[in-house]
């Protein structure tokens, strides 16, 4: 295996092309395209911070890996991508940083952030230079084509191979990496799950491990991994081969406002070609999102939703019937479930506003449904056919409701409010406070009185929820 790594530039050449994945650019792009076409959609619309993705041959784990990387928004731009992979070949303290050159795959060269790599090496002895750990490790390499396929823009790579088997070293690594764990960067954690149990045992064992990870408590993961060993599961060699990489992530996230999501699961027994169900390896795709970072919607998605809403209203106003929903032209948030309000303005005057905090409908369908409902809002004169060319629309896509403990949590202009008591309820979108200039007390009082029918002070003994909205118009 020495020859593939020779390079005048000291680049890390692809060592596992033609074994774990196709070796030609065209074949690799073709396989990645098929994997992403079958991948799971985005599970959340806040800022993606990290993914946990498997690293087996693409015929086994490629679909699950694509589901992990499919969480990356289209046209996303990250300053750096940190890839953490646990060594299958060597044992050494801490993590090996590669700064000798760049990484290459059949899809091209990926620039390594050598300046940052050198800084890590100087900052803490928990980092070391061990090129052999990189040269003979597949678990980092196989992640890179997925990144290249999804992130069509340029990004800087920070490749780290973890050689330790000590949890204390993982905690030290997390402390050193913490300054870079922020929305501007993406962390990719490479790990498969259970190795070699039977098909059904793998499903059960892998779910327990994934749920422990999603608790975001390093001690809980270590405890579950230990429990798994005591179950005497036949042929189980490990529950999580990259446990040190995953544990490092948990030390990074345990005190942060993040959400873990289970995105997709398969094991090697699901492979159509080599689906042996007696000895399998498990694969989970997990994603970590920032709770505090409001989701965004691309301009193309905004245009599509506005066009669908306008078409739905026009058809209803002209025919008196609801049109069949137009299918989404793209994936992303349009196929996800989210709350939405649609507001209709004619000559600048509000003529309808109806919404839903979330249903079983995907956003694309819900926008079309709420648009028609807004067009027959009983509180206003409904739009007439001759007014359609003077109609403007405003769409507010909502974050999930969050029950608050104290009204001081409400930030007028940022938060919408939903007040509920018994059978009475009412809401104001975030932009209402911005347009009226109301302070927090006025915002609550008007919503309680005007919308919920509870009186000016009715909010004081009601349940109060906040939410945020991504607002756009045509």
Structure tokens at 214: 């999603």
Percent of the chain with pLDDT over 70: 96
pLDDT score at 5: 42
pTM over 0.95: no
Q: Is the pLDDT of residue 285 over 80?
A: yes
pLDDT score at 294: 52
pLDDT score at 2: 42
Residues of the chain with CATH 3.30.700.20: 299-473
Stated length of the chain: 474
What's the mean per-residue pLDDT of the chain? 92
Beta strand spans in 361-434 (E) = 391-398, 402-403, 416-421, 424-428
Q: Is the pLDDT of residue 311 over 70?
A: yes
With contact defined as beta carbons under 8 Å apart, do 368 and 326 qualify?
yes
Cα 138 from Cα 51, distance rounded (Å): 18
Sign of the torsion formed by the C-alpha atoms of 134, 137, 140 and 142: positive
pLDDT tens-digit series, residues 270-280: 998 887 899 99
Beta strand spans in 71-130 (E) = 80-86, 95-97, 103-105, 108-110, 127-128
Cα 5 from Cα 464, distance rounded (Å): 61
HSE (CB half, 13 Å, CA atoms) of 95?
34
Higher pLDDT, residue 444 or 276 = 444
The arithmetic mean of pLDDT across residues 375-385, rounded, is 96
Q: Is the pLDDT of residue 290 over 80?
A: yes
Give me the CATH code for the 299-473 domain, please: 3.30.700.20
Helix (H) or strand (E) holding 48, with range, is strand 48-53
**How far from 300 is each of 267, 305, 334, 430, CA to CA, in Å?**
36, 9, 11, 23
Per DSSP, the three-state class of 12 is strand
Cα 21 from Cα 188, distance rounded (Å): 19
Nearest partner of 356 among 411, 429, 440, 462, judged by Cα: 429
Residues of the chain with CATH 3.40.830.10: 3-290
Helix (H) or strand (E) holding 53, with range, is strand 48-53
Looking at the DSSP bridge assignments, the partners of residue 50 are 187, 288
Q: Is the pLDDT of residue 419 over 50?
A: yes
Q: Is the pLDDT of residue 12 over 80?
A: yes
Helix, strand, coil percentages, rounded to 5, for the chain? 40, 25, 40
Structure tokens at 440: 């927090």
With contact defined as beta carbons under 8 Å apart, do 404 and 470 qualify?
no
pLDDT tens-digit series, residues 217-253: 999 999 999 999 999 999 999 999 999 999 999 999 9
Q: Count Cβ neighbours within 10 Å for each residue of 85-98 and write b for 16 or more, e otherwise.
A: bbbeeeebebbbbb
- Helix and strand numbers, DSSP H then E, in the chain: 14, 18
pLDDT score at 9: 66
Q: Write down the CATH superfamily of domain 3-290.
A: LigB-like (3.40.830.10)
């Amino acid at each position: 295996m020495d020859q593939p790594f020779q390079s005048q530039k000291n680049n890390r050449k692809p060592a596992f092309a033609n074994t774990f994945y196709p070796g030609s650019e065209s074949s690799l792009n073709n396989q990645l395209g098929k994997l992403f076409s079958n991948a799971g959609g985005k599970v959340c619309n806040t800022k993606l911070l990290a993914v946990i993705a498997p690293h087996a041959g693409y015929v086994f784990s490629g679909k699950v890996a694509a589901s992990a990387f499919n969480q990356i928004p289209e046209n996303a731009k990250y300053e750096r991508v940190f890839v953490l992979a646990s060594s299958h070949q060597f044992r050494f303290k801490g993590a090996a940083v590669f700064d000798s050159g760049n990484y290459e795959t059949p899809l091209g060269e990926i620039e390594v952030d050598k300046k940052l790599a050198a800084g890590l090496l100087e900052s803490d002895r928990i980092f070391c230079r061990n090129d052999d750990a990189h040269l003979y490790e597949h678990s980092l390499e196989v992640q890179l084509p997925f990144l290249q396929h999804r992130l069509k823009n340029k990004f800087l790579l920070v490749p780290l191979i973890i050689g330790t088997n000590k949890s204390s070293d993982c905690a030290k690594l997390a402390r050193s990496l913490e300054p870079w764990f922020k929305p501007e960067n993406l962390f990719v954690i490479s790990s498969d799950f259970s190795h070699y149990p039977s098909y059904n045992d793998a499903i059960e064992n892998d779910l327990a491990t994934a749920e422990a990870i999603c608790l975001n408590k390093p001690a809980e993961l270590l405890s579950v991994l230990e429990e798994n060993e005591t179950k005497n599961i036949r042929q189980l060699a490990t529950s999580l081969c990259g446990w040190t990489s995953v544990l490092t992530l948990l030390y990074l996230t345990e005190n942060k406002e993040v959400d873990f999501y289970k995105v997709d699961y398969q094991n090697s027994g699901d492979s159509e070609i080599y689906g042996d169900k007696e000895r399998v390896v498990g694969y989970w795709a997990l994603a970590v999102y920032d709770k505090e970072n409001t989701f965004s919607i691309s301009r193309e998605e905004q245009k599509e939703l506005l066009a669908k809403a306008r078409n739905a209203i026009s058809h209803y106003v002209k025919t008196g019937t609801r049109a069949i929903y137009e299918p989404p032209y793209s994936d992303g948030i349009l196929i996800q479930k989210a709350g939405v309000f649609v507001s209709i303005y004619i000559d600048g005057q509000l003529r309808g506003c109806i919404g839903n905090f979330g249903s079983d409908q995907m956003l694309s369908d819900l926008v079309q449904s709420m648009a028609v409902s807004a067009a027959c809002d009983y509180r206003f004169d409904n739009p007439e056919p001759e007014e359609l060319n003077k109609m403007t629309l405003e769409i507010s896509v909502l974050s999930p409701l969050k029950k608050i403990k104290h009204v001081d949590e409400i930030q007028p202009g940022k938060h919408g409010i939903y007040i509920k008591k018994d059978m009475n309820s009412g809401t104001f979108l975030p932009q209402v406070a911005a347009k009226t200039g109301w302070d927090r007390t006025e915002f609550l009082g008007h919503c309680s009185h005007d919308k919920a029918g509870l009186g000016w002070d009715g909010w004081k003994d009601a349940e109060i929820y906040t939410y945020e909205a991504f607002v756009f118009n045509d």
